Chain A
Amino acid sequence: NAGVTQTPKFRILKIGQSMTLQCTQDMNHNYMYWYRQDPGMGLKLIYYSVGAGITDKGEVPNGYNVSRSTTEDFPLRLELAAPSQTSVYFCASSYSIRTSGIAYEQYFGPGTRLTVT
């Protein structure tokens, strides 16, 4: 298994540009997440999805959009990039059994380092 893969690894955007960060997992996990991590800080949840066709906002969703058309893919869209969106973005996935109230650990991708200038 490749696990969680993210592309691109690095990207520089100009203010006002848009881009999509790609995330794919091959573990058949139902839950997927997008986090951002600023230097010296912890992880902040942007959006998450509990299954194909279902997405929900996390702690810091403004300026971002997501979609989950398949179990494997969970792209993150940045519209009108701003310097405040300069960060490292991590995608993660996990397997959880909501009906039984059982959660398991998250598997993280290698991250995308984004700079907006």
Chain B
Amino acid sequence: GESVGLHLPTLSVQEGDNSIINCAYSNSASDYFIWYKQESGKGPQFIIDIRSNMDKRQGQRVTVLLNKTVKHLSLQIAATQPGDSAVYFCAENLNTGGFKTIFGAGTRLFVKA
């Protein structure tokens, strides 16, 4: 498969532990934020999103936290499983009359069995 993530920041966690992946975004006017998961050899896949009028949103085993004061986004994965091993990207969306989406550099998550 594709060798995505050779030079990306890496987080290694034990199976069953919780994972926290952090992201700093660039524009204080961004109003929509998304987390994507990219498995080796595949395209990014939507995990969860949050709009700027919220500071927390929960999905199945995942929670996204938004701190607009310090322009920080985090993704929490509960009870991490081997299938969670992937590269995770945050993306911010800026509504400038046309939408502009900016992707972060990504974090590679390794789950140890």
Chain A interface (Cβ within 8 Å of chain B)?
Answer: 4, 31, 33, 37, 39-43, 45, 50, 56, 88, 90, 92, 96, 98, 101, 103-111, 113
Contacts and interface: CB of A to CB of B under 8 A. Distances in A.
Contacts of B31: 101
B3 interface: yes
Interface string B72-105: 0000000000000000010101010111010111
B43 A108 contact: yes
B32 A103 contact: yes
Q: Which residue, A37, A92, A104, A105, has most C-beta atoms of chain B within 10 A?
A: A105
Contact of B2 (A4, A31, A56, A88): A88
Interface of B: 2-8, 31-32, 34, 36, 41-46, 49, 89, 91, 93, 95, 97-99, 101, 103-106
